[in-house]
Amino acid sequence: MSNIIVLPLIVPVITAILLVFLRENIVLQRMISLMTLGFVILTSIVLLIEIQAQGVMRLDFSGWAPPFGILFVADSFAVLLVLIANIVASICVLFAIYTIGSHFEKMYFYSFVLLMVAGVNGSFLTGDIFNLFVCFEVMLLASYALISLGGDKVQLREALKYVLINVVASWIFLVALAFLYGTVGTLNMAHIALRVMEAGADPLITTVALLFLIVFSLKAGLLLFFWLPGSYSVPPTAIAALFAALLTKVGIYALVRSFTLLFVNNVEVTHMVLGIMAGVTMIAGCIGAISSKDVRTIAAYNVLIGVGFIVAGLAIGTESSLQGVVYYLMHDMVAKALLFLAVGLMIFLTGETLIDNMSGLIRNYPAFGWIFFITMCSLAGIPPLSGFLGKVLIGQGAIEGGHFVLLGLGFLSSLFVLYSLLRILLGSFFGETIISLEDEKPLKGRVLMPLILLTVCTVGLGVGAQWLAPYVLDAGQTLYTPSIYIDAVLDGGVNR
Amino acid sequence: MESLILLLVGVLVAVATYLILSRQLLRVILGTAVLSHAAHLLILTMGGLKKGDVPLLGESDGPYTDALPQALILTAIVISFAVTAFVLVLGYRVYKTNGTGNFDELRGRPDE
């Protein structure tokens, strides 16, 4: 039964390779990639139910017992993220089918998307920190190809910067891995956690922890986000939405995993640094979001505010705030994909990127206008949409833990999110209609369909919170009590 | 021996940093390649250089050399090879489309 843990990684890889041979047959490519993602969604639902029944599951590859071999570990947190990531990815692929054009589709677009999804799923599920590095690289190489696909002048330029930043970040990852292996002598995450706990507040381990913090912050866009607005605004809409929804979230997942499981030995230092970085990210994101008039830039800075808010929840580190982190991560994937698709659609419809040059879109495209309104409410955290519960839980945790500065910054940032998106709504959707009925580009229902599906997701995540609650509670509990994870991996203890 | 290799790692990192901070595209790419070599050497050194026998039970009574860092490096070398190849091609395309390999001119203007 535990063999199904590997399916979210292996099935997309196999179909991605298969699609390379089906280059000319675009229809078949579309169908296979949607079916693959659908299959992964089903697998992760089965896994979720199974985890509820029998606790954290693991798969030792080739039967090498931990801590010696590479293994996959499925706990509720990882599988929930796999589930949402694949739902969002399939919706983005659906959007790409109608919008991206055959020259992208013939250049192995679907293969790269599936490889990236495979890397994302692998990163969520792996229980070995070197394997995490490998999955990161799988995901990143596919994203390098996706960001430079199309080959515009600006796009290639930004792609080069994105690639170079990530190469250097991967180098820091390797260095941190080397020091970690030299210090604790193991790469199995549960075993590392055990050894770090035995070592206590060792300054060497704290240094290694801070190195990992730098790596994952670069990937997540936490404080070290200088590369993000540029590279997220150049690729086509569907790809940008995929990036915004998945890539930074994998970085956040790695941060959450390492600072709830691995490095909890010196919380005063590491979590304080995390808290400061989260606060500064939120402030900088807010400044960026309200200073720009370019809708793409506003959307990119909104990603940063989300990252800061989630990491604030991690830095607070109480059980309810960790539940909030799980919940808000799921919400953020859906909502950011929706925001990027909406912004991309605005640019497609008007051919403009500045708020001032668009006006009165709601008259031309009423359904689209209302979808944008719901997106805005969801991101600002208005009940009953999905952003609300995560914010409440993180806020509750902040009060319990006495982190009032982060609490204030977090809720202030929600106001700035609301303000920055309200500016788009008032400036571009309301006001005088400048596109006459004759000039209006037709907005086909099928192009709007993915946005509607994501809107349904964000409403569903909010309204169906009760139904999701047992899984989120379990995920939060596993994060808050690392021994559950460690016991499940090491069968209650390792002698060495 | 370990100290010597660590010094070498330091030299490689210094060279790579110099190359990466330069303005020329090709130099930066070469810098990242050198940087990855430094990381591989560091992993090898962190596992301890050859101290014992081949880690095969029954071949000798030990002590054995740690084989894990070599497996890690093998993986890391393959990855850095792929990434370097990709960056070289991307760099060439950037040079062709933008007409320059100088990062000052690749900065981009705000009005684009």
For position A64, what pLDDT does the model report?
86
Give the chain A residue whose CA is nearest to the CA of B43.
Answer: A178
Q: For A282-316, b where at least 16 C-beta lie within 10 A, e where not — what string?
A: bbbbbebbeebebbbbbbbbbbbbbbbbbbbbbbb
DSSP secondary-structure letter at A426?
Answer: I
In DSSP terms, which residues pair with A126 in a beta bridge? A72
How far apart CA A329 and CA A309 sit, in angstroms, is 10
Closest Cβ–Cβ partner in A141, A154, A170 for B108: A154
Q: Which domain holds residue A292?
A: 266-473
> Which residues in chain A are contacts of B91 at CB distance < 8 A?
160
Chain A contact probe: residue of B9, B19, B24, B79 with most A CBs at under 10 A: B79
Q: Does A230 touch chain B (CB under 8 A)?
A: yes
Instruction: Please name the residues in contact with A277: beta carbons below 8 A apart, sequence gap of 6 or more.
Output: A213, A217, A222, A223, A311
> Which residues in chain A are contacts of B32 at CB distance < 8 A?
164, 167-168, 171
Judged by CB atoms within 8 Å, which residues 2-41 of B form the interface with A? 20, 25, 28, 32, 35-36, 39-40
What are A277-288's pLDDT values in tens digits?
999 999 999 999
The answer to whether residue A242 scores a pLDDT higher than 60 is yes
Total of domains in chain A? 1
**More confident call, A7 vs B53:** A7
Give the chain A residue whose CA is nearest to the CA of B33.
Answer: A167
Looking at the domain assignment, is residue A131 inside a domain? no
> Which residues in chain B are contacts of A174 at CB distance < 8 A?
36, 39-40, 42-43, 76
Hey, are the CB atoms on A182 and B47 less than 8 Å from each other?
yes
Hey, are the CB atoms on A167 and B86 less than 8 Å from each other?
no
For position A496, what pLDDT does the model report?
42
For position A124, what pLDDT does the model report?
97
Hey, are the CB atoms on A175 and B46 less than 8 Å from each other?
no
What are A225-239's pLDDT values in tens digits?
989 988 888 899 999
Judged by DSSP in three states, A60 sits in strand
Query: CA angle, A248 as apex, A246 and A254 as ends, to 5°?
Result: 100
DSSP labels, A452-480: HHHHHHHHHHHHTHHHHHHHHHHHHHHHH
Looking at the domain assignment, is residue A216 inside a domain? no
> Which residues in chain B are contacts of A175 at CB distance < 8 A?
39, 42
For position A2, what pLDDT does the model report?
82
In total, the C-beta contacts within 8 angstroms joining chain A to chain B are: 90
DSSP secondary-structure letter at B98?
Answer: H
Looking at the domain assignment, is residue A301 inside a domain? yes
User: In angstroms, what separates the C-alpha of B43 from chain A's closest C-alpha?
Assistant: 5
Looking at the domain assignment, is residue A222 inside a domain? no
ipTM exceeding 0.90, yes/no? yes
Q: Does A373 touch chain B (CB under 8 A)?
A: no
How far apart CA B34 and CA A171 sit, in angstroms, is 11
> Residue A1: pLDDT band by 50, 70, 90 thresholds?
low
Looking at the domain assignment, is residue A149 inside a domain? no
User: In angstroms, what separates the C-alpha of A160 from chain B's closest C-alpha?
Assistant: 7
For position B111, what pLDDT does the model report?
53
Closest Cβ–Cβ partner in A160, A171, A178 for B90: A160
User: In angstroms, what separates the C-alpha of B1 from chain A's closest C-alpha?
Assistant: 16
Q: Which pair of structure tokens corresponds to residue B75?
A: 């993986």
Hey, are the CB atoms on B35 and A175 less than 8 Å from each other?
no
Q: Which helix (H) or strand (E) holds A393?
A: helix A386-401
> Which residues in chain B are contacts of A160 at CB distance < 8 A?
25, 87, 90-91, 94, 106
> Residue A143: pLDDT band by 50, 70, 90 thresholds?
very high
Closest Cβ–Cβ partner in A157, A163, A178 for B106: A157
Hey, are the CB atoms on B83 and A170 less than 8 Å from each other?
yes
> Which residues in chain B are contacts of A177 at CB distance < 8 A?
43, 72
How far apart CA B25 and CA A156 sit, in angstroms, is 13
Range with the lowest mean pLDDT among A121-135, A148-162, A353-367, B46-60?
B46-60
What are B96-111's pLDDT values in tens digits?
998 888 888 888 765 5
Q: Which pair of structure tokens corresponds to residue A201?
A: 């507040």
For position B110, what pLDDT does the model report?
56
What are A12-69's pLDDT values in tens digits?
999 999 999 999 999 999 999 999 999 999 999 999 999 999 999 999 998 888 888 8
User: In angstroms, what separates the C-alpha of B45 from chain A's closest C-alpha?
Assistant: 9
Query: Domains along chain B?
Result: 2-51+64-98 (1.10.287)
Mean pLDDT, chain A, as a whole number? 92
Hey, are the CB atoms on A177 and B91 less than 8 Å from each other?
no
Backbone conformation region of residue A185, classed left if phi is above 0, alpha if psi is from -120 to 50, else beta: left
Q: A32 near A20, Cβ under 8 Å?
A: no
Q: Does B108 touch chain A (CB under 8 A)?
A: yes
Hey, are the CB atoms on B87 and A164 less than 8 Å from each other?
yes
Range with the lowest mean pLDDT among A266-275, A413-422, B62-71?
B62-71
**More confident call, B67 vs B78:** B78
> Which residues in chain B are contacts of A145 at CB distance < 8 A?
86
Looking at the domain assignment, is residue A22 inside a domain? no
Looking at the domain assignment, is residue A279 inside a domain? yes
Angle, in degrees to the nearest 10, between helices A248-257 and A319-350: 170
Hey, are the CB atoms on A160 and B69 less than 8 Å from each other?
no
Q: Does A227 touch chain B (CB under 8 A)?
A: no
Q: Does B94 touch chain A (CB under 8 A)?
A: yes
Looking at the domain assignment, is residue A412 inside a domain? yes
What are A188-221's pLDDT values in tens digits?
999 999 999 988 888 999 999 999 999 999 999 9
DSSP labels, A95-120: HHHHHS-HHHHHTTHHHHHHHHHHHH
What are A432-483's pLDDT values in tens digits?
887 777 778 888 888 999 999 999 999 999 998 899 999 999 999 999 999 9
The answer to whether residue A393 scores a pLDDT higher than 90 is yes
Q: Does A177 touch chain B (CB under 8 A)?
A: yes
The answer to whether residue A257 scores a pLDDT higher than 50 is yes
Hey, are the CB atoms on A182 and B106 less than 8 Å from each other?
no
Residue type, B21: L
> Residue A494: pLDDT band by 50, 70, 90 thresholds?
low
Give the chain B residue whose CA is nearest to the CA of A234.
Answer: B112
> Residue A492: pLDDT band by 50, 70, 90 thresholds?
low
At residue B64, what are phi and psi to the nearest 5 degrees? Answer: -100, 155
Closest Cβ–Cβ partner in B36, B47, B90 for A171: B36
> Which residues in chain B are contacts of A130 at CB distance < 8 A?
72, 75
